[in-house]
């Protein structure tokens, strides 16, 4: 190494040491000025910071007020719509209830009329049955009566015929026993007829 290089290195080292000493131990006046300027800078910074923070707070409050007003208006409109729908639904329910009440009354009246009509039909059917039964009874009684008359007439006719036969056979000279066997009639009846009509 050259002498020049060594001198330059030593000079550089000395400058570094002096500068570091100056930085570590500044003089008192420079320090006081520095503290004063730092205090002023801090005050200005504080003032600027408080001004900015107040601006930010006021802008934020303004924004939040605007936002809350918008939300309140939206909720108010929505609640108005919901209340309107509820009113319409309430009116529809009342209309349907009234309609159902009217229909129920009509059904009850119709049911009452049907029950009355059914009762009348039953009474008419009962009357018709009674009339038919009476008519059938009368027809049966009349038939029985006319049948009995015809039967009695037929019986009396056959009795008269039998009586005539008995009398004819007796007048031909047949005995009571023979007449009884021939006609299939008891001997007592033959004797009775001969005694009654023979004379």
Residue 188 has pLDDT above 60, yes or no: yes
Q: From CA 129, how far away is CA 150, in angstroms rounded? A: 30
| 112 has pLDDT over 70 | yes
The pLDDT tens digits of the residues spanning 22-65 come to: 666 555 545 555 666 767 777 877 787 778 778 888 888 888 88
pLDDT at 10: 83
- For 18, list phi and psi in degrees, rounded to 5: -65, -45
All structural domains of the chain, each given as residue ranges with its CATH number in brackets, are: 158-199 (1.10.10)
> CA dihedral in degrees (181, 187, 191, 194; nearest 10)?
-20
- Most confident listed range (6-10, 25-29, 33-37, 112-116): 112-116
Q: Give the model's confidence band at 123: pLDDT under 50 very low, under 70 low, under 90 confident, else very high.
A: confident
The C-alpha atoms of residue 100 and residue 93 are separated, in whole angstroms, by 10
pLDDT given for residue 16 in this prediction: 80
Q: pLDDT, tens digit, for every residue of 93-105?
A: 888 888 888 888 9
């Amino acid at each position: 190494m050259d002498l020049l290089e060594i001198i330059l290195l030593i000079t550089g080292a000395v400058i570094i040491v002096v500068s570091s000493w100056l930085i570590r131990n500044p003089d008192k006046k420079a320090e006081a000025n520095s503290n004063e300027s730092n205090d002023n800078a801090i005050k200005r910074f504080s003032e600027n910071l408080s001004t900015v923070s107040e601006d930010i707070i006021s802008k934020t409050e303004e924004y939040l007020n605007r936002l809350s007003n918008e939300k309140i208006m939206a909720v108010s409109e929505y609640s108005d719509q919901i209340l309107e729908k509820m009113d319409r639904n309430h009116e529809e329910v009342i209309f349907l209830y009234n309609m159902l009440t009217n229909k129920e009354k009509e059904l009850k009246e119709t049911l009452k009329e049907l029950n009355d009509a059914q009762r009348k039909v039953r009474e008419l059917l009962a009357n018709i049955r009674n009339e038919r039964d009476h008519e059938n009874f009368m027809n049966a009684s009349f038939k029985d009566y006319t049948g009995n008359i015809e039967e009695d007439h037929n019986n009396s006719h056959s009795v008269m015929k039998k009586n005539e036969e008995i009398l004819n056979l007796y007048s031909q000279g047949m005995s009571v026993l023979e007449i009884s066997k021939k006609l299939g009639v008891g001997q007592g009846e033959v004797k009775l007829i001969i005694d009654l009509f023979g004379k």
